[in-house]
Amino acid sequence: MYTNGYIFRYAGILVIIAAALLSLAAMLLKPFQERNRAIDKMQGILASAQVQECTADNAIQLFNKYIVEEQVIDPKGNILSSYTKSPKEDAQAFLIDLKKENYNKAHHKPYNLPLYIAKKDGQTIYIIPMLGTGLWGPIWGNIALKSDFKTVLGVFFDDKSETPGLGGEIATPKFQKQFIGKKIFDNRGNFTSIEVVKGGIVKLPENQRIHGVDAISGGTLTSKGVDAMLRNTIKSYLPYIKKHR
């Protein structure tokens, strides 16, 4: 028979060994986890720029091929830093934590904005990363603008916990393809964003449909989250856009 003291000591040693092994595993796996997160981020950025051939295996190579410059800008549209070297994932813009910057913005603290500039098929593309809130959790993505800063080349959206078949449809090509060719400014130069319209853009006047897409049927709150994310994010970049249009 083992004494209570022996049992407690034995259990304590096992707990210490298990904790040490878990800590070691977490430490060893961290570089791989960070690399995978970086690759996911690259794939999302390139997807918005319509780089179709991007996979997890070639994402780093293609990111360094197509992204020619990464900028950090302030709320007034001033460029704080510009990075054109490789590897591009070392750039300050790539390392910006959007959650932290959005928090600072909401609390009227200084914040920075990342911007990716790509060259593809002879055209310059400006890619704006986004972070917002869906029905059940965070949603995020990128919007790529043509060199006129007005026309959408493409978008990419993803989510953590939206309902599959409903709000989760924001991550599908069917939803995202609607944005291609849409305009974020009207003919007078007024900012319109891209409205995600419940019931479809048929509810908009015909001359306004170029500024809207169909919301997801059954995913009203997630659609509203995408709408707000687009509007709030692009608004932050308007000073920069006005300086560079």
- pLDDT of amino acid 14: 72
In this predicted structure, the answer to whether residue 20 has a pLDDT above a threshold of 90 is: no
Helices (H) and strands (E) in the chain, counts: 6, 8
In this predicted structure, the answer to whether residue 47 has a pLDDT above a threshold of 60 is: yes
If you average pLDDT over residues 4-26, what whole number do you get? 67
Q: Which amino acid is at 245?
A: R
Question: Quick check: is 2 in a domain?
Answer: no
Question: Quick check: is 11 in a domain?
Answer: no
Question: Quick check: is 23 in a domain?
Answer: no
Q: What is the pLDDT of residues 188-220, one digit of tens each?
A: 999 999 999 999 999 999 999 999 999 999 999
* 3-class secondary structure, 109: coil
Tokens of 14: 């096992």
- Structural domain tally of the chain? 1
Residues in the chain: 245
Q: Any idea what DSSP says for residue 24?
A: H
If you average pLDDT over residues 160-186, what whole number do you get? 96
Domain that holds residue 204: 32-244
Helices (H), ranges, 82-192: 92-95, 98-106, 173-176
What Å distances lie between residue 233 and 94, 102, 193, CA to CA?
Answer: 17, 9, 10
The answer to whether the CB of 158 falls within 8 A of the CB of 132 is no
